[in-house]
Amino acid sequence: MVLHFLISGRVQGVGFRWFVHTQASMLDLRGWVRNTEDGEVEVVAAGEPEELDDLRRILKRGPRGSRVDRLAEHILDEREKENLEEFRIEGAW
């Protein structure tokens, strides 16, 4: 299963991408996380439904200092996971 998440709130400048990277890696998910130009955080993750459920709960909570106001979720085509590798942060310096 492949899911796309878009997280809004106080999610930039609070370590959100690093938090997601760590948690998703521990869940053995493939995919990526990145900031958007609109101040949101975008996540694409592939894995088993149980692990994706765990990730969803983690994203709703966020790291300390963050505030999640909205979590949008979409199911992507299974073919999308063919391009996904070990979970990574995109656009990190």
Please tell me the CATH code under which domain 2-89 is placed: 3.30.70.100
Q: Respond yes or no: is residue 83 known to be catalytic.
A: no
pLDDT in tens, 72-92: 999 999 999 998 999 999 986
Q: Respond yes or no: is residue 17 known to be catalytic.
A: yes
Integer Cα distance of 26 and 42 in angstroms: 19
Cα torsion 17, 29, 26, 8: sign: positive
Give me the catalytic one of 17, 56, 61, 70.
17
Give me the catalytic one of 30, 35, 67, 70.
35
Domain ranges for the chain? 2-89
> Exposed, middle or buried by CB within 10 Å (0-12, 13-18, 19+), for 78?
exposed
Band of residue 38 on the pLDDT scale cut at 50, 70, 90: very high
Provide the token pair at 50: 């149980």
